[in-house]
Structure 1
Amino acid sequence: MKRTIATTALLLAGLASTGAFAAKSAEAVPYRYGMPLDVARVISIDEPNSFTCETVQAKMTYIDSNGTEKSVTYLKESSACANS
């Protein structure tokens, strides 16, 4: 019995680490100029850290007016450009 519990625990840990039990996150779509966005609430805006002024790809995760979580990627100047 203990062996079955240990095996099940290992299996669940392996599945959790692969994301099988992870909450389904919104698949990010690339932004196109003129693309309509229905943003009711922004959850997060993520961009890579950059120490130089350059163009980076950012990702905005948001909730639309129907309560659906969505994500969009877009190009922007890095935060380092504000200090230049």
Structure 2
Amino acid sequence: MTLSKAFAIATLTFGTSIAAFAQPATPYQYGMDLDITQVIALDAPASEDANIAILTYRDSAGNVQKISYIRPNITANQN
């Protein structure tokens, strides 16, 4: 394999995975049927004000999906 072919394959592979992470997250609604085979990333800001988390996962068909959900602020109700 030539260097240019190896570079082209690496570029296409990397570009495809970056495009999957660039897609917007679907808001979660109660009762949604989630098909999660592998969790790839969980983006949950550490800020007290931000309570939206984004879960990036791979479904059973191998597609990368994103879903956003409201995470509870557990520090707000400590007595």
- Superposition TM-score, scaled by structure 2 size: 0.63
Identity of aligned residues (%): 35
Aligned residues: 60
Which of 58, 75, 78 is the equivalent residue of 1:81? 75
Query: Which structure 2 segments of 5+ residues have no match?
Result: 1-14
Paired residue for 1:48? 45
- 1:72 pairs with 61, 64, 67, which one? 67
Structure 1 or 2, whichever has the larger Rg, is 1
Q: In structure 2, how many angstroms separate the alpha carbons of the residues matched to 1:34 and 1:55?
A: 23
As a proportion of its length, which structure holds more strand?
A: 1
Runs of 4+ in structure 1 off by over 2 angstroms are: none
Task: Give TM-score, length-normalised by structure 1.
Answer: 0.60
- Structure 1 unmatched runs, 5+: 1-20
